[in-house]
Copies of this chain bind each other. A is one copy, B any other.
Amino acid sequence: MKNLTFYHAGCPVCVSAEQEVLSFVDQSRFNLSIIHLGEKRDFMDKAKEFGVSSVPALVTEEGQVLHINFGASIDDL
């Protein structure tokens, strides 16, 4: 199983993107973690290290960042 992390902040754009990501990710092969950065502030530094600059964003195990649409800048969380 490979890890995928979906970072969000509970915003409408985030919730909508989360529903899509949950629907199409192959969860038999990927372990998908959902992290609400507004609630889990401890993960903020890690997200920034990966290069997450806005939410929602999907980060692969290899550190590839896919910023999906634009909900909020990470600096505004």
Listed in ascending order, the chain A residues whose CB lies under 8 Å from chain B are 4, 16-17, 20, 23-30, 58, 60, 64-70
The smallest C-beta distance from A8 to any residue of chain B, in angstroms, reads 13
Q: Do the beta carbons of B24 and A30 come within 8 Å of each other?
A: yes
Q: Do the beta carbons of B69 and A66 come within 8 Å of each other?
A: yes
User: Could you say how many copies of this chain the assembly holds?
Assistant: 2
The smallest C-beta distance from A27 to any residue of chain B, in angstroms, reads 7
A60–B68 CA distance with the chains assembled, in angstroms? 14
New A-B pairs, 6, CB < 8 Å, besides A4-B24, A65-B69: A20-B66, A24-B26, A24-B30, A24-B60, A26-B26, A67-B68
Give the chain B neighbours of A29 by CB distance below 8 A. 24
